[in-house]
Amino acid sequence: MTGNLTITSLRGGAIDAIRSADLDRKTALAQESATRWFERRVSLRSPLDAALPDRPGRPEKPVLTPPTQVEKRSLHTLKGRIALLHAIAHIELNAVDLALDIVARFATEQVPNSFFDGWMQVAFEEAKHFRMVRARLNDLGADYGDLPAHDGLWQAAHSTRNDLTARLAVVPLILEARGLDVTPSLQAKMRQTGDLESAAVLDVIYNDEKGHVAVGAKWFRFLCAREKRDPAKAFQELVRANFRGPLKPPFNDLARAEAGLTPSFYRSLASISHA
């Protein structure tokens, strides 16, 4: 698959991956663009790069619905485990496009090449996660697209399309950090039901996600330092301006702190949302 992929530049490869509705091609392009960039075999940008789309390419299914209409099922049933894995596959697919979008959209920002190294590592791993979860769904007799999914993740990112600092606040430091909060209990529930294979997939995702939040926190602090802004205060201001919905405890303070996201960032936002 990777041999016949034409990649004009890092931005071009990222844009082609975002645009692709073929999910095998999308994940292959994401990983091959990352590999060529890590080896410095492609430039950052090219005049031949396609235009960045407003929305990522998607197959006809799953049907996208508001988050409130996605029903919750017990993990003690096969249907419930398939529903959870389907929801995770959808999150990981969006995460592939979001990491690529940060690279493509902000390719003209004054940031070091290591910024793009970090986000292409995230894109590479999110593509790996999507494939792992999809393969597990296949093992259970299902596939991605069998159930409806919600569109909230892309909408949250789209609102920050013009501001890199805001994008970093919302995507890695809220949406990805949320994964650190909820995944350990899901791993435990999968083990309780005897689904050790699904639990093992979640283990890989959980450990990688710590690194993704760390990439977000590193570059958020970098931009704040350059703008002479206090990171925790800037985070709170940007979240209030750009994110709809509460920050819900419980928080995995330890995993968040390991990734450089300390309670001074998010605690006050949680208390406000519960007022």
**Cis-peptide, bond into residue 246, ω within 30° of zero:** no
Say if 54 falls within a structural domain.
Answer: no
Domain count, the chain: 1
- Domain harbouring 200, CATH code: 1.20.1260.10
- pLDDT bucket at 275, cuts 50 / 70 / 90: very low
DSSP secondary structure letter of residue 22: -
pLDDT digits (tens, 9 = 90+) for 160-192: 999 999 999 999 999 999 999 999 999 999 999
- Burial annotation 59-76 (CB, 10 A radius, 16+ → b, else e): eeebeeeeeeebeeeebe
- Report residue 64 CA to chain centroid gap: 18
Pick from 16, 205, 203, 182: nearest CA to 125 = 205
Residue 13 lies in a domain: no
Give the mean pLDDT of 62-67.
86
- pLDDT tens per residue across span 93-132: 999 999 999 999 999 999 999 999 999 999 999 999 999 9
6 is a domain residue = no
pLDDT in tens, 221-261: 999 999 999 999 999 999 999 988 778 899 999 999 999 99
Domain that holds residue 155: 65-265
pTM of the model: 0.94
